Chains A and B, each alone.
Chain A
Amino acid sequence: MMSIIVSVLFDAALLTLTLALAALGLAVIYGLMGVINMGHGAMLTLGAYLTWAATSRGIPFVFSVLLAALIVGVIGLLLEHLVIRHFYDKPFETLLITWGFFLIMTELIKIVFGTDLRNVKNPLPDSINLGIVELPAYQSLLACISLFLIFTLAVVFYHTSLGIKIRALIQNREMASLLGVNIAYMYKMVFVAGSCIAGLAGALISPLLSVDPYIGMVFLARSFFVVIVGGIGQILGGTLVGSFLIGGSETFFAALQFKQTFAQTIVFALAIVVLRFRPSGLWTVQGRR
């Protein structure tokens, strides 16, 4: 019994951190800029495909992942520079434009890579024995990377001058601009950073599942719920709490003998209820935002 509980807990933690990684890029762009990036899913997918393309050409996994993140970042930069920056005051328009980006990018992926399922070889196929439970090595590493990234972002956000500028921007854009913060530049950097992280997440997740043009779609709605349920702009606590509720809790429903698809249905329904009663998210102190 004990070992079951422990293994369920570890499973939940791994799932939570994997989903947190997938949602992080969205949390950065949505939380810091208020841009609803529907293209996030396509960025994840692209990251995964680029990793497949690079590893299948013999490039080591680590470099492939970094390359994928870099290329997706550059594409994010192009998207921001060509289109998004003209629509910062219109959240509805950016939502639709990024959705169009999703459609276009998915089609381009299909044209370039085809629609066959691709597999990225798992670089760490072993498992770690912790005495009570055995954990898959690669997923554990992924969880550590995810934690590391979230903490790094939190440190940047709360303990550097760059973070202060970004927070000033969120609180009062006009005032920040008057005080000499270059808004256009900051927004651009945040968008590129978010895209980079999305590409990185897609690349890192690719060995865990078979890569097809729609894998990003699977994560898109869940990532949004992570961000909304956790609390917009709450990178550290919000992302973790949100990911736990959206991803981790599925493990418990699954452990209670629910079908996986049905467990997800319950989780989504719960998320909608949470949204109804705490529209600003779970992690926010009421009245502060």
Chain B
Amino acid sequence: MMKHFLKKSWSEEKFAVLVFLILSLLPVFISGYIIYILPQYMLYGTLAMSLGLLWGFTGILSFGQAGFFALGAYTMGLCMKYNGFGINPAYAGIILSAFMGAGLATIIGYFLFSAGVRDAYFVIVTLALSIIVEQIAVSQSDITGGWNGFFIDRMSLTLGSGREISLFNDVPMYYFVLPLVAFVYFLLRKLITSKFGKVLIGIRENEDRAISLGFNTSLYKTAAFAISGAVATWAGALYGTHAGFVAPSLGGVSFSTEVVVWTALGGRTSLLGVFLGGVMVASLSNYLSAITPRFWQLVLGILFVTTIIYFKGGVAGALTQFTLFNRKTPLKSIQEVRAEQAMRVD
């Protein structure tokens, strides 16, 4: 399995294996707050990956990813509160949230994409989406606790023989979240290198041409949005049980746009870059906001603008430019080249 990944396009996958290996060894060497907080940041990274698939590979920018994330956290919380449906409530929450995210995204996506709502219009709609999620969370206070939000229990694992393993402690939780996140990464990675992924990149590069080549682009875009929504909601469900708390601001506009900043800084055309962007910026935010709370956000904003103007590929793109992965055409990622080939052949 691993070998297969390494062979296919060794540059990013090899690096990703290394990253996840390091992450898996961390609890051996350190303990305490970092091990508690890191799974949350990895879930942030997963949220960023959901946007990366959409923005970096399909060319659709969404300002509503946090809306999905919050939906997941609320779903998880409510499943915990009302004790599932006979099965482990956490399992119910995780599965239900992914389906809800996919379902909601499919409905909204198809409704808009099939009518040709594109680009900036779609951005505004997704912006409204996160506001709607936040406002519903505020207004339906009987269920959601209104502004105050509510507490969520830590989940536990149920094994076949009726045994339960509590994930209340941080290290077991860490080793529960990490492989799931890694799994999502490799799954998405596989997706974008598949034929489906090539079509998405084709749509990003030139949607009109993709249409004239006979691709039903609104269907592809809806699928991308649905997968992205499912991943974001699923990550939110895990985040909810990890953080132990959910409040409306989790789905709000400012958090949604933070995700955009992570994704841009990490490098939106590299899935690993996006993941690390989420983890790194969230960690740095936490660390630096303790030291320079007044200026850190400002620095982040300036970095964001600089990235948009000068480094379209973010940090990952800049690294490839400096021949880390030893490539001759630095700005064109391997997917882009493949997409061009796919467009020509098909």
Contact = CB atoms under 8 A, between A and B. Distances in A.
Interface of A: 36, 83, 91-93, 95-97, 99-101, 103-104, 107-108, 110-111, 214, 217, 220-221, 224-225, 228, 259, 261-262, 264-265, 268-269, 271-272, 275-277, 279
Contacts of A221: 124, 127-128, 131, 253
Contacts of B123: 36, 95
B301 A271 contact: no
Interface in B133-177: 135-136, 138-140
B132 A268 contact: yes
Nearest to A103: B301
B128 A276 contact: no
A99 B257 contact: yes
A224 B123 CA distance: 10
A282 to B, nearest CB: 14
Given A99-B260, A275-B117, A93 B308 contact: yes
A91 B120 contact: yes
A100 B298 contact: no
B308 A111 contact: no
A224 B124 CA distance: 7
A238 to B, nearest CB: 15
A108 B305 CA distance: 15
Contact of A111 (B136, B261, B294): B294
Of the listed residues A36, A110, A261, A277, the one surrounded by the most CB atoms of chain B closer than 10 A to its CB is: A261
A111 to B, nearest CB: 5
A225 B129 CA distance: 12
Contacts of B291: none
16 contacts: A36-B123, A92-B120, A93-B308, A100-B304, A103-B297, A103-B301, A104-B298, A104-B305, A214-B254, A221-B127, A261-B139, A264-B135, A265-B136, A268-B128, A271-B128, A276-B115
B179 interface: no
B1 interface: no
B300 interface: yes
B104 interface: no
3 shortest A-B CB distances, which residue pairs?
A100-B305, A103-B301, A104-B301
Contacts of A101: 305
Among A103, A262, A277: residue with most chain B CB under 10 A: A103
B128 to A, nearest CB: 5
Contacts of B138: 261
B121 interface: yes
Interface string B83-127: 000000000000000000000000000011001110111011101
A265 B135 contact: yes
B121 A228 contact: yes
Contacts of B80: none
Given A261-B135, A276-B111, A111 B295 contact: yes
Contacts of A271: 128
